[in-house]
Amino acid sequence: MKLLWLQKITCNGNAHSFLNYPNLTEWMEDFEWVYHPLLPSTYSLKEIQSDIKECDILMIEGAIDREDSLFLELFYRYANEAKYILTLGTCATFGGIFAQAKDSIKGLHFDKENRLDEFGKFWQKSISLPGCPLQPQVLAGVLNAIKEGISIPLDKMHRPKYYYAYTVHNGCTRNEYFEYKIDEHRFGELEGCMFYEHGCQGTYTHNSCNKILWNSVNSKTRAGQPCMGCSEPNFPDDDLWRTKKNMGIPAKLPTGVPKRAYLSLAGVAKAFKIDRFYHPLMEDESE
């Protein structure tokens, strides 16, 4: 299976993140890099630019400046050729950080959450893989599924459900503090949930960060950083370290949970001050 990895306005983070896939050498035995920005490839970028090479899957990393006609021409050539087009990371999918610089910079099929028609004829063969960066297991898994001819269930933004049907909240080690509405959280501690005060977007961010652990060992929220929603269409929002609230009520609620349901449950949870959650995990237990 021939893979072509093209980059535009990017930090290279998805390419580097992919290098961390645990069995990359073995995985690569079944694939050929027509071009990869870091790994040995069959052709040089110059050769890719000057001639049409065969490719099964076109992968785009980085946001696309619509004023960049040279890149667009290159993209069309290979997009017509490819059986699948993958947008790797949030920039290529939704525009991401760099789209905030200029109006003409956008994701391939999206400008934040708005679907664009521009490359509509490629939509049916496109798969969205947002994340800043993308987890290596997600990319390796999707490519494996394509190679094996297994159909991948997609959501309406064409994100593979195997990875994006979950929220970042699923599997976070700080979950109990969310469930029992312990709104005190201090940085530098093992305890506490960042949802109530410190901007954690884990409950409404579609990704598998706490299901497939990062680098096989950890996640940002486990390590006390609020999820910044880096795989969501509107990433990066403003004021990322603070929860936006209306009269103390979180402005954004867990995916699919109606406000009334959330507030009722939170009210009940808050009513019971459960002692355990107010003590450091490492503190001596009193008799």
Partner 1 sequence: MIDTSKKEQKRSLIINGALKLFATKGFYATTIPQIAKFIGMSSGNLYNYFSSKELLAQEILKYISAHLAKEIRKINDSSLSSQEKIKAIVKIYFNTAQSQPEMIDFFLRVYLSNREVFRKGCEGMICVNEFVTEIMIFFDEAVAKGELKNQDFFSAFGLFMGYLGGMVFLNGEEVLNKRLDEYIDDISTNIYNALKSD
Partner 2 sequence: MSRIRVDLIEKIEGVAEVKYHIKDNRVDFAQIAFFDSRYIENILTGRVPLDALAITPRVCGICGHAHLIATVRALESATGCRVSKKAQTIREITLSLELLQNHFKWFYLSIYPLILNGANRVDGALEPSRVISEAIALIAGQYPHNSYAIVGGISTDITPIDIFELKDRLKYITKLFNKYIIDTDISEFSRCDKLEMMLSKSGDLPLIMQKILNNGWQSLGQSYDRFIVFGDSGIFKKGKSVSTRYQEHLDMRYIEEFKTPNSEAISIKYRGKFYETGPLARAMIMKRSLVKEAHRRYKDSLYTRILARVCEMPLLIQYIYDLIDTIDYSQPSWIDYKEFKQSCSGVGAVEAARGSLIHKIDIKEGKIIEYKIITPTQWNLGNSNKSNPSTAQKALIGNRADAPLELIFKSFDVCSVCTVK
**CA atoms within a 13 Å half-sphere pointing along the CA-CB vector of 213:** 10
Binding partner 2 (rule: CB under 8 A), the pick from 2, 6, 10, 122 is 10
> How near is the Cβ of 245 to partner 1 at its closest, in Å?
7
Binding partner 1 (rule: CB under 8 A), the pick from 150, 238, 273, 275 is 273
> How near is the Cβ of 2 to partner 2 at its closest, in Å?
18
Binding partner 1 (rule: CB under 8 A), the pick from 153, 188, 248, 280 is 248
Cα(216)–Cα(196) distance, rounded to whole angstroms?
27
* 29 in contact with partner 2 (CB under 8 A): no
* 6 in contact with partner 2 (CB under 8 A): no
Cα(135)–Cα(140) distance, rounded to whole angstroms?
9
Identify what 270 binds: partner 1, partner 2, none; CB under 5 to 8 Å per kind: partner 1
Binding partner 2 (rule: CB under 8 A), the pick from 4, 34, 142, 230 is 230
Query: What is the Cα gyration radius of the chain?
Result: 21
Q: Give the interface size with partner 2 as a residue count (CB under 8 A).
A: 59
Q: 203 near 253, Cβ under 8 Å?
A: yes
Q: 211 near 162, Cβ under 8 Å?
A: no
| H-type alpha helices, 53-107 | 69-81, 89-94
* 263 in contact with partner 1 (CB under 8 A): yes
Identify what 88 binds: partner 1, partner 2, none; CB under 5 to 8 Å per kind: none
Residue among 70 and 272 whose Cβ is closer to partner 1: 272
* 45 in contact with partner 2 (CB under 8 A): yes
* 69 in contact with partner 2 (CB under 8 A): no
Tokens encoding 266? 């939170």
Cα(113)–Cα(115) distance, rounded to whole angstroms?
6
Torsion-angle region of 169 (φ positive above 0: left; ψ -120 to 50: alpha; else: beta)? alpha
Instruction: Give me the residues that bind partner 1 (CB under 8 A), please.
Output: 245-249, 251, 259-260, 263-264, 267-268, 270-273
